[in-house]
Structure 1
Amino acid sequence: MSQLAIPRSESTHQRLYEFARTGLVKIFAHPYATVCELYCGGGLDAYKWDDAQIGHYMGIDISSSGITQIREAWESLRKAYTAEFFELDPCLESIEMHLQEKTNQADVVCCLQHLQLCFETEERARKLLQNVSLLLKPGGYFFGITPDSSTIWAKYQKNVEAYHNKSSSMKPNIVPNCIRSESYMITFEVEEEKFPLFGKKYQLKFASDISAETHCLVHFPSFIRLAREAGLEYVEMQNLTEFYDDNRAQFAGMLLNSGSNLVDPRGRLLPRSYDVLGLYTTFIFQKPDPDVAPPIMTPLLQESSYNHDEREWQGSGWRDDEKSGHIEPPVSLGKINDQKGILGPGPADLRFSEAL
């Protein structure tokens, strides 16, 4: 199966998410690499690793059924790479205890789904990142995809503000803690003015889904802080709309071939695709290699950037330029060095102006 092939029967959301997964695997996987995938259940990416010609695969999932699915997907391939599978929860259990002989072996560790569930508590997120650091070789990368909290929280705040504004033209039956578009509906369990660092739950339901899924917002300053405590350096976070634009020449054909209504004939995202992709962001961290100088493009965050009291990032107030939609882009030193929204990258039109 071609790495760029996407089943045409999948929904818009599934096809776009599949594009992002494929794009990241294509960028980070290299021949003969040892790959560890967290929450690998479903076997969605087995053929991608095959196409990338990796050498060895380690799949970790919380459920036996998830492990069975990924094992069956691997067995259905030509088995160009070796594989082993482990049933455990990486945000609760210690990799060192269960897989002691596997530490410091992975060239890349990825988490392409469910990272947000680890942010229910600080302890869960910390354990996950400690396990990632134990698995990675020095110089190895931790990457993946997660919902973009900057996008979601900005939409939520605008909805609540409009609802409580007496001059608002919103209809009376609009629920303030419910975000709706033609593609999805996001519902927060409790209306809050400030962004909790952990445990802020919401329900996400796409038009094609039978039921909603429960997620937690990922507080990105906390994500960066906990990663650094675990020995992982922040490299980049990028909203998927910008990830697509930056790689359009390479990946536009993939979306054009996956069906209609995703991009225009020139490969530009259509509004619905932009809306769905904008809900997600990539994240990239690296375990430093003490014997190798860091890449020039790796940002060196100042101590105050991550030691600062994180609660100062929770402010709910909007500046006048934010309310009007006119937000000046942050100062940038290059794509990887972009200091973006306080809660996550976010598309440009929803980006907070304060830097991380």
Structure 2
Amino acid sequence: MSQFAGGSRTESTHHRLYEFAKSALIKIFVHPYATVCDLYCGGGVDAEKWDEAQIGHYIGIDASSSGINQIKEAWESQRKAYTAEFFEVDPCMEDIEMHLQEKSNMADLVCCLQDLQLCFQTEERARRLLQNVSLLLKPGGYFFGITPDSSTIWAKYQKNVEAYHNRSSGMKPNIVPNCIRSESYMITFEVEEEKFPLFGKKYQLKFTNDNSAETRCLVHFPSFIRLAREAGLEYVEIQNLTEFYDDNRAQFAGMLINSGPNLVDPRGRLLPRSYDILGLYTTFIFQKPDPDIAPPLMTPLLQDTTFSHDEVLPKEWQGNGWRDEEKTVHVEPPVGLGKISEQKGILGPGPAELRFPEAL
């Protein structure tokens, strides 16, 4: 279940911003009559979005029977124009092929608009999810969604650590502050440590208007890319939602203005509080290459085979954790493919970019 399930759903700033981000991604990616597979779809909150996108067929997958029942009811009660089927399966724990017979290679799009981070408790869970995504997608299809931006969250945490050590040099060693606070939210790490483990780095996120916090895991982007590539998915882009909004502001400013007051200024620029909240999240985009149409998109080369903190990452990213400075890797479209923005309006102008910090 999404962290937006509690509190004042229709009033809270973070809920309105998150719903806007989901709507914007769906408008960019989804074409009429597409077959869409929605992972962790429970609750049925996006049923209207799929209807507006004029999809042809919907496959809803969720690990919770109550979540599946909710989205079934939302679809049946509103008599959507698209056909739909629903499956109670945990895509990071089970082999989807055993449950969705004859559904392999049939989805134009697979999305995960919430709860991807739950799959990063272990490498095995993340690997299983990506293998299932690859199984579901048609060649040429896209896997996209939203997840907390681990580089942003970890950079904020490292700033706290640095500030703490600068002002408390005479205090006890080996004590690391484990909280990030802002006007809108509080992030608490369960284990006080300076090292960023590749999987299972747990934290709790609580927004100001919510009654309780939910436990999440940070998504280590280089490991995400590595496992995706192992599953046959090529990296396209990982982009913070503030940058995603700025790149597409001309198209989406009106949507955000209509989402409610106090989100943007009259020119459509994000107000500071909106920027702070939206900056906690990132888009992610991968593609299953179609060898019959074009060469695959190029993924930044990450060392694979063995899996250890020092061997998985290139030398310049090795160390005990991530820090505030960020590294940008440009990924040019291969010859003959052209910009993705020219094909489907998926990305803004210029090359796709991967953003993640250098290691300490």
Pair in the same fold by TM > 0.5: yes
Q: Does the aligned pair in 1 maintain the 2:326–2:355 contact within 8 Å?
A: no
Structure 1 partner of 2:274: 273
Please give the secondary structure, in 2, of the residue aligned with 1:110.
strand
> Contact 1:205–1:212 at 8 Å: present in 2 too?
yes
CA distance, structure 2, for counterparts of residue 301 and residue 71 of structure 1: 40
For the residue of structure 2 that corresponds to 1:69, the secondary structure is helix
Hey, what does 1:63 align to over in structure 2? 64
CA drift at 1:287: 0.6
> Which sits farther off after the overlay, 242-251 or 156-165?
156-165
1:293: which partner in 2?
294
Secondary structure of the structure 1 residue equivalent to 2:33: coil
Change (3 A) 1:96 1:317: closer
Once residues 160 and 282 of structure 1 are traced to their aligned partners in structure 2, the CA distance between those partners, rounded to angstroms, is 27
Instruction: Provide the C-alpha distance between the structure 1 equivalents of 2:322 and 2:42, rounded to a whole number of angstroms.
Output: 40
For 2:109, the equivalent position in structure 1 comes to 108
Q: Give the alignment partner of residue 355 of structure 2, picking from 310, 323, 340.
A: 340
- The aligned length equals 325
1:84 maps to 85
Contact 1:235 1:336 in 2 (8 A): no
Cα deviations by residue, 1:79-138 (Å, 9 ceiling, x for unpaired): 210000000100001011111211111000000000000000000000000000010111
Aligned to 1:72: 73
Q: Which residue of 1 aligns with 2:17?
A: 16
Q: Which has the higher strand share?
A: 2
Alignment partner of 1:309 is 2:308: no
- In structure 2, relative to structure 1, the CA distance for the partners of 1:178 and 1:225 (3 Å cut) is same
- State the Cα RMSD in Å: 2.5
Shift of 1:300: 4.3
Query: Contact 2:35 / 2:55 at 8 angstroms: preserved in 1?
Result: yes
In structure 2, the gaps of 5 or more residues are 1-7, 170-174, 333-348
> Which residue identity is paired with 1:101?
E
Q: Is the 8 A contact 2:155 2:322 kept in 1?
A: no
Q: Is the 8 A contact 1:340 1:353 kept in 2?
A: no
Query: Between the two proteins, what is the percent identity of the paired residues?
Result: 79
Counterpart residue identity of residue 100, structure 1: Q
**Separation in 1, partners of 2:151, 2:273:** 19
Contact 1:195 1:315 in 2 (8 A): no
The whole-number CA distance in structure 1 between the counterparts of 2:214 and 2:305 is: 31
**What are the equivalent positions in structure 2 for 1:145-224 lying under 5 Å apart?**
145-166=146-167, 176-224=177-225
Task: State whether structure 2 residue 252 is matched by structure 1 residue 251.
Answer: yes
Which residues of structure 1 form unaligned runs of 5+?
A: 1-6, 169-173, 342-351
Instruction: Calculate the TM-score normalised by the size of structure 2.
Output: 0.84
Counterpart AA for 1:309: E
Tell me if structure 1 keeps the 8 A contact 2:44–2:70: yes
Determine helix, strand or coil for the equivalent of 1:102: coil
Preserved contact between residue 299 and residue 337 of structure 1 (Cα < 8 Å): no
Task: Name the aligned partner's letter for residue 216 of structure 1.
Answer: C
Call closer, same or farther: CA 1:247–1:305 in 2, change over 3 Å. Answer: farther
Could you tell me which amino acid in structure 2 is paired with residue 302 of structure 1?
L
Secondary structure of the 1:65 match is helix
Tell me how far apart the structure 2 counterparts of residues 283 and 60 of structure 1 sit (CA, whole Å): 19
Match of 1:263 in 2: 264
| Pair 1:63–1:267, CA change in 2 (3 A) | same
The aligned counterpart of 1:349 is: none
Residue type of the alignment partner of 1:32: Y
Give the C-alpha shift of residue 330 in structure 1.
4.0
d(CA) in 2 for partners of 1:179, 1:162: 12
